[in-house]
Structure 1
Amino acid sequence: MSRLAIILGGLIVIAAVLGLSSTYTLSEHEQAVITRFGEPRGQPIIEPGLHFKMPFADTVNRFDKRWLDWRGDPNQIPTKDKKYIWVDTFGRWRIVDPLRFFQRLRDERNAQSRLDDIIDGETRNAIASYALIEAVRSTNRPFEDDEYVTETERGETLEKISAGRDKLTRQIRDRAAEVVKEFGVELVDVQVRRINYVDEVQVKVFERMISERRRIAERSRSEGMGRAAEVRGQRERELKEIRSESYRKAQEITGKADAEATKIYAEAFGRDPEFYQFLRTLEAYPQAVDHNTSLFLGADSEFYKYLKSSRK
């Protein structure tokens, strides 16, 4: 019994190993090429689910069905107008013919390397065929005319583009897509992620931008100082007008008060001239004479008259 159990157990293990090595599953985003001793066998498997193969002899080479990302390295490229720029691109691709892809490239790592060569080459050819403005702008839409747009940028609006970035990137994609078809690959999109000047030119561009912004700042300061002077002048004029009007009103009130006082004095003087003269003279004495004052008056002085009469 023990020998029979060992034999049955061995058969079960062998059956399990054979079963596992003869089946495989593909998910919805996978496709596969079956190779036997390194050579492709039959058509690619693109349907998901459980599949069978020759155990031990067949190998399942899996590939992704989904759109894959390609990112190129920044390249220094001269434009048609002899301006050196850094161009950084990216793209989207997928495997549409897994058998051809396996025969030509074997795996995604090799595919990425081939895409680097092809797309970077087409990018270099396209950029070198156009002026810098074609790679920067997509339309001839003018810049907004405000104080923050530099004179250089306004000047660039006069330079019309014939292709623009959209047409340029489509040209790169179409030419590269034709080349990669032989690898069983579909290239759906190529875009320029970033364009920048090389370091030597970048310094000059930044210096020019700084100079332009300083010029705008100086102009804003000058306009502000002119406006401040205008406001101060307006304030001085209004202040003078207020003071003049206040002085006129004060003089008018003072004149009316003096006239009223004179009228009252005149009425009082008319009722009793002698008493009024006496009262005004008494009011004048303490203002004209104090204990440190020596006063010399003639015998017939009007100012001395009441003092002289008081001795009688």
Structure 2
Amino acid sequence: MNRIGLIFSSILLLIVLASSTLFVVDQRQFGVVYALGQIKDVITEPGLNWKLPPPFQNVSYIDKRLLTLDSSDSEPMLTAEKQRVVIDWYVRWRISEPSEYIRNVGLNEAAGASQLNRVVRNAFQEEVNKSTVKELLALKREDLMAAVKAEVLDKVRGSKPWGVDVVDVRITRVDYVEAITESVYRRMEAERKRVANELRSTGAAEGEKIRADADRQREVTIANAYRDAQKIKGEGDAEAARVYAEAFGKDPQFAQFYRSLDAYKASFNGKGDVMVLDPASSDYFKVFRGGSAPAANSKK
């Protein structure tokens, strides 16, 4: 039983010893082997590797991927015409020489990002001081970013190389400081209001002109229609008079009777109108009794 325990303990010890001497380097990392605090080896290829057990040797890892550093402060910079602007930027960089990086920068990516942020900001400040706002926005934007990249590379590749490679430097935003921005926005708003008021005034004037022209055309159309209507009405009255005259000329007695009917119709225009007639002497009632109407020249 003691022998089985001894064998099991030995196997367990071997496993622990093997786990402390073997390590795996990921394809996204550098493996840095330290021997008593000094860099012993740098593993750049992924795979399984071995080392001496601690405390004789230790291993740490550094990211070998392309990293992004964004600007972390909004401190304004002065342009060539002494305008205070805020610039947002980002840098794409990677660790290329782990040994130099650890000796001259730090043990992790955060140390390099912190120092690189300071160098990039100083380079931007120097270049912005030489440029106007117009050049920052359009004319020299690409040249400025190229100049900043060159200055940063010159710094990280100096007498004490950082072991990093700066791939790209880009400006994402150029803006005035908040106080100036508010003033610019107010001027823009005032200008837009002025243009809007001018357009509204022009539109109102055009609207009045259109309405006046429409009213004039309406009056002309109504006058022409009234004139044509009166002309047609006059022609119709003349034709009616001619027809009446022609018809009444053929039978004067009937014409006299028809006019009497029109007179009676006009006399009983209201519901309460009353007329007292003698049926014996009224030509109207004689017709209803079967008699004939008097001649045109007879008296009622």
TM-score, normalised via structure 1 length? 0.78
Decide whether the 8 Å contact of 1:79 with 1:130 is kept in 2: yes
Q: Which segments of 5 or more consecutive residues in structure 2 lack a partner in the other structure?
A: 275-295
Question: 2:82 maps to which residue?
Answer: 82
1:243 to 219, 222, 231: 222
2:162 maps to 183
Cα offset, 1:99, TM superposition: 0.9
Query: More displaced, 201-210 or 174-183?
Result: 174-183
Alignment of 1:198-209 (within 5 A): 198-209=177-188
Give the Cα separation in 2 of the matches to 1:282 and 1:35. 137
Moved more, 61-70 or 13-22: 13-22
Equivalent-residue separation in structure 2 for 1:68 and 1:275 (angstroms): 119
Contact 1:33 1:102 in 2 (8 A): no
- Report Cα offsets for 1:179-235 as digits up to 9, x if no partner: 123101111111112222112212211110110110121122123213322331332
Partner of 1:112: 113
Instruction: Give RMSD over aligned pairs.
Output: 2.7
Partner of 1:192: 171
Q: 1:48 aligns with which of 46, 49, 52?
A: 46
1:210 pairs with 2:209: no
Q: From the superposition, tell whether residues 269 and 41 of structure 1 become closer, same or farther in structure 2 (CA, over 3 Å).
A: same
Residue in 2 that maps onto 1:30: 29
Distance 1:275 1:98 in 2: 134
Residue in 1 that maps onto 2:100: 100
Q: Does 1:309 align with 2:299?
A: yes
Partners of 1:256 and 1:130 in 2: how far apart?
90
Q: Give 2:288's aligned residue.
A: none
Q: 2:202 and 2:37 mapped to 1: Cα distance?
A: 80
Contact 1:75 1:88 (C-alpha < 8 Å) held by counterparts? no
Alignment counterpart, residue 144 of structure 2, candidates 155, 160, 168: 168
1:223 aligns to 2:222 (yes or no): no
Shift of 1:90: 1.1
Identify the residue that residue 136 of structure 1 maps to in structure 2. 137
Aligned partner of 1:70 in structure 2 is 69
Structure 2 distance, partners of 1:192, 1:133, is 14
SS at match of 2:33: strand
> Separation in 2 of the partners of 1:132 and 1:279?
102
Structure 1 contact 32–62 (Cα < 8 Å) conserved: yes
Q: Based on CA coordinates, which of the two structures has the bigger radius of gyration?
A: 2
Please give the alpha-carbon distance, in whole angstroms, between the structure 2 residues aligned to 1:307 and 1:259: 26
Q: Distance in 1 between matches of 2:49 and 2:25?
A: 8
Q: How many angstroms apart in 1 are the aligned matches of 2:153 and 2:189?
A: 42
C-alpha contact 1:78 1:128 (8 A) present in aligned 2: yes
List runs of 5+ in structure 1 lacking aligned partners: 138-160, 293-305
Could you tell me how far apart the structure 2 residues matched to 1:273 and 1:230 are? Answer: 62
Taking a change above 3 Å as real, the CA distance of residues 184 and 289 of structure 1, as seen in their structure-2 partners, is: closer
TM-score normalized with structure 2 length: 0.81
The amino acid of 1:250's aligned partner reads: A
Query: Could you tell me how far apart the structure 2 residues matched to 1:62 and 1:131 are?
Result: 44
Distance 2:123 2:216 in 1: 72
Q: Does the 8 A contact of 2:96 with 2:164 survive in 1?
A: yes
Matched residue of 1:94: which SS? Answer: strand
Partner of 2:246: 267
Whether the 8 Å CA contact 1:177–1:188 is kept in 2: the answer is no
> Taking structure 1 as reference, are residues 167 and 309 closer, same or farther at Cα in structure 2, changes over 3 Å only?
same
Q: Distance in 1 between matches of 2:6 and 2:251?
A: 162
Structure 1 residue 308: Cα displacement: 9.7
Q: Which residue in 2 is equivalent to 1:127?
A: 128
